[in-house]
């Protein structure tokens, strides 16, 4: 059975997963996702500021998953990608509403809010960002 | 710093060992290692045991004390070391440091994993814990899918092909066929790999290492003790360990493991060697793309040339730098916590001339490379027949 997540562990990630809020370092201009409390480069000189990602970016790499993680059986085949946000941070997310033949590195994508998974036997339903091709730009 | 030698080594058969539990596996490997060293159990002062996840695989924690108990060495200190799939390599390093630093004279470095007592889905979920639970696994990432994205980017940046990936699996099975302790001691063809079922594109079933039970152990000793009891010690001349971000997406590169490069640099500098001087290597081929990245990041070939080099047979058993003579993780099997120690066992057998049908001629210097997760931990050791 998948690791059962506490309500608090889901609640505390709502700003990132629902609204793509994170942090950046004003000293060097680096954007992080997920948030960091200090900048690994600037360290003590870090000036950490909150930001909300615009939610647009490009596919940095991707895979089509045929053997799923437990809890994702109904999704196969599903597309997992590393997306490079326009701000510069990279994150891991699913791509949805995409033709598998159209998949390619560099493809422009934008954020969409979706259901990710649900706990077995009526557990918490998890929502977060997925990404979808920006219409007309996916070829 | 004390010089450190491997004076004894042993491992169980790797595979689906239905008749053996965790304690049976580690007891067998430990006893073989002690017997091969020709020492008495009471000479051993401490144990370092690599184990990734007995808690999730069989519900058993407190593995350090369990190992000492299972091999009849209580009450000596026994420490469990965890770094996902690099747990074994890191246990070896902790054991090495304890002697090099002058704390102990003789210690055991072991590794064990019992993986087949739970369903495959649970194994996958547990292995996923080597990645980032909140930011990768939450979104449906599986372990193969992370390496698949490394492979996809490698193909994009360097023109690496699926056939070149497959060539790694074919080569490692060819070596594994000569290893009676391997999980899959048989050959496979390029066509079989290419036609195997899709796991996470472009990786197919036969690009992936299997689920395995197994244990391995080595006995380490300081120079004065080693020379007294052992005619053919294998010296650990370099040890490197580096870390990187837990999540793959946070890294500077998805096709270079910076942790591998750094750990290799440290280990080679200490050993006073360059990649060209390495006679054979055991590298972390949890997936075929991982071996291609490893041979590049260790410095056997330039970045981007690993796929072609593999397909050209540059790392075959009869080549200048045979890689994964044991069969690697792919064919010998991958009991995650034991793998790093198995690599040391294989290199030791090779340097002592005890590797039978897969013996590499004139093997003097060997290298072992063990990775945790998708590259958040790398541990590299250099071994030599000559003390340095």
Element (H, E) at B281: strand B280-282
Average per-residue pLDDT for chain A: 93
Q: Does B195 lie in the same domain as B218?
A: no
**Which portions of chain B are predicted below pLDDT 70?**
none
Nearest to B137 among A67, A69, A82 (CB): A69
B85 is known as an active-site residue = yes
Provide, as residue numbers in chain B, all residues whose Cβ is less than 8 Å from the Cβ of A93.
139
Provide, as residue numbers in chain B, all residues whose Cβ is less than 8 Å from the Cβ of A72.
140
CB-CB under 8 Å, B142 with A68:
yes
pLDDT class for A5, splitting at 50, 70, 90?
Answer: confident
Q: What's the whole-model pTM score?
A: 0.97
Q: Does B34 lie in the same domain as B21?
A: yes
pLDDT class for A58, splitting at 50, 70, 90?
Answer: very high
So where are chain A's domains? Answer: 20-52, 54-139
Residue B124 forms part of a structural domain: no
Q: Does B188 lie in the same domain as B74?
A: no
Q: Does B285 lie in the same domain as B349?
A: yes
Which residue range(s) make up the domain with B105?
A: 4-119+211-234
Give the minimum alpha-carbon distance from B364 to chain A in angstroms, rounded to a whole number: 40
Q: Does domain A54-139 have CATH number 2.40.50?
A: yes
Q: Looking at B234, B267, B283, which one is the last position of a domain?
A: B234
Write out pLDDT tens, residues B252-280. Answer: 999 999 999 999 999 999 999 999 999 99
Give the minimum alpha-carbon distance from B152 to chain A in angstroms, rounded to a whole number: 6
Q: Does B136 lie in the same domain as B98?
A: no
- What is the structure's pLDDT at A3? 57
Asked whether residue A21 carries a pLDDT value surpassing 70, the answer given is yes
Q: Looking at B234, B269, B303, which one is the last position of a domain?
A: B234
- Give the C-alpha separation, B96 to B107, whole Å: 9
- Order of strands across the sheet with A21-25? A30-31, A21-25, A48-52
Provide, as residue numbers in chain A, all residues whose Cβ is less than 8 Å from the Cβ of B254.
60-61, 82
B173 is known as an active-site residue = no
Q: Does B248 lie in the same domain as B159?
A: yes
- What is the structure's pLDDT at B41? 94
Q: Does B181 lie in the same domain as B268?
A: yes
Contact B229, B7 (CB under 8 A): yes
Q: Which of A37, A10, A5 is nearest to A119 (CA)?
A: A5
Give the minimum alpha-carbon distance from B255 to chain A in angstroms, rounded to a whole number: 11
- Residue in B154, B241, B284, B334 annotated catalytic: B334
Asked whether residue A139 carries a pLDDT value surpassing 50, the answer given is no
CB-CB under 8 Å, B128 with A63:
no
Q: What is the mean pLDDT of residues A57-84?
A: 95
- What is the structure's pLDDT at A6? 84
Q: What is the mean pLDDT of residues A55-63?
A: 98
Average per-residue pLDDT for chain B: 97
DSSP β-ladder status, A21-25 and A30-31: antiparallel
Q: Does B278 lie in the same domain as B136?
A: yes
User: A70: helix, coil or strand?
Assistant: coil
Q: Is the dihedral of CA B321, B11, B13, B196 positive or negative?
A: negative
- Order of strands across the sheet with B280-282? B78-81, B46-50, B106-113, B214-222, B4-11, B234-243, B377-384, B365-372, B280-282
Partner B contacted by A13 (CB < 8 A): yes
How far is C-alpha B187 from the geometric centre of its chain's CA atoms?
21
Mutation for testing the B interface, residue in A16, A92, A114, A115 having most B CBs under 10 Å: A92
Q: Does B164 lie in the same domain as B41?
A: no
Write out pLDDT tens, residues B24-72. Answer: 999 999 999 999 999 999 999 999 999 999 999 999 999 999 999 999 9
Q: Does B372 lie in the same domain as B274?
A: yes
- What is the structure's pLDDT at A1? 42
Total domains in chain B come to: 2
CATH number at residue B313: 3.40.47.10
């Amino acid at each position: 059975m998948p690791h059962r997540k506490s309500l608090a562990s889901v609640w505390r990630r709502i700003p990132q997963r629902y609204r793509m809020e994170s942090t950046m370092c004003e000293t060097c201009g680096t954007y992080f996702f997920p948030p960091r409390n200090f900048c690994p480069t600037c360290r003590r000189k870090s000036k950490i500021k909150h930001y909300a990602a615009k939610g647009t970016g490009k596919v940095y790499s991707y895979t089509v998953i045929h053997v799923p993680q437990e809890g994702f059986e109904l999704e196969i085949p599903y597309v997992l990608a590393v997306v490079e946000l326009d701000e510069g941070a990279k994150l891991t997310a699913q791509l949805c509403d995409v033709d598998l033949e159209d998949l390619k590195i560099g493809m422009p994508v934008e954020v969409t809010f979706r259901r990710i998974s649900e706990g077995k036997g009526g557990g918490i339903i998890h929502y977060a960002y997925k990404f979808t091709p920006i219409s007309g730009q996916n070829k | 710093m004390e010089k450190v030698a491997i004076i004894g080594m042993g491992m169980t058969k790797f595979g689906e060992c239905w008749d053996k539990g965790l304690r049976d596996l580690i007891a067998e490997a430990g006893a073989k290692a002690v017997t091969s060293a020709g020492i008495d159990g009471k000479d051993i002062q401490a144990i370092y045991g690599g184990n990734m996840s007995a808690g999730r695989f069989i519900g058993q924690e407190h593995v350090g004390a369990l190992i000492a108990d299972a091999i009849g060495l209580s009450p000596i200190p026994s420490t469990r070391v965890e770094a996902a799939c690099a747990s074994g390599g890191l246990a070896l390093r902790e054991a090495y440091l304890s002697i090099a630093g002058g704390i102990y004279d003789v210690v055991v470095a072991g590794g064990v994993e019992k993986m087949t007592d739970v369903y495959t889905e649970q194994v996958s979920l547990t292995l996923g814990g080597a990645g980032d639970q909140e930011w990768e696994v939450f979104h449906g990432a599986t372990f193969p899918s992370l390496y698949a994205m490394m492979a996809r980017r490698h193909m994009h940046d360097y023109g690496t092909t699926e056939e070149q990936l497959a060539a790694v699996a074919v080569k490692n099975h060819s070596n594994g066929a000569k290893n009676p302790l391997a999980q899959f001691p048989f050959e496979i063809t390029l066509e079989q790999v290419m036609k195997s079922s899709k796991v996470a594109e472009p990786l197919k079933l036969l690009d992936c290492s299997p689920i395995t039970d197994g244990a391995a152990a080595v006995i380490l000793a300081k120079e004065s003790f080693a020379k007294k009891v052992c005619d053919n010690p294998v010296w650990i001349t370099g040890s490197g360990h580096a870390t990187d971000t837990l999540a793959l997406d946070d890294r500077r590169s998805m096709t270079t493991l910076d942790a591998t490069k750094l750990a290799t640099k440290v280990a080679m500098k200490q050993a006073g060697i360059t990649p060209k001087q390495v006679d054979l290597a055991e590298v972390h081929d949890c997936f075929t793309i991982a071996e291609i990245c490893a041979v590049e990041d260790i410095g056997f070939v330039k970045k981007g040339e690993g796929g072609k080099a593999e397909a050209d047979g540059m790392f075959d058993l009869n080549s200048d730098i045979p890689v994964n003579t044991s069969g690697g993780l792919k064919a010998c099997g991958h009991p995650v916590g034991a793998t790093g120690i198995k690599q040391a066992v294989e290199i030791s057998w090779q340097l002592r001339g005890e590797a039978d049908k897969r013996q590499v001629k004139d093997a003097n210097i060997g290298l072992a490379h063990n990775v945790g997760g998708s590259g958040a931990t790398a541990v590299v050791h250099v071994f030599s027949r000559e003390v340095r």
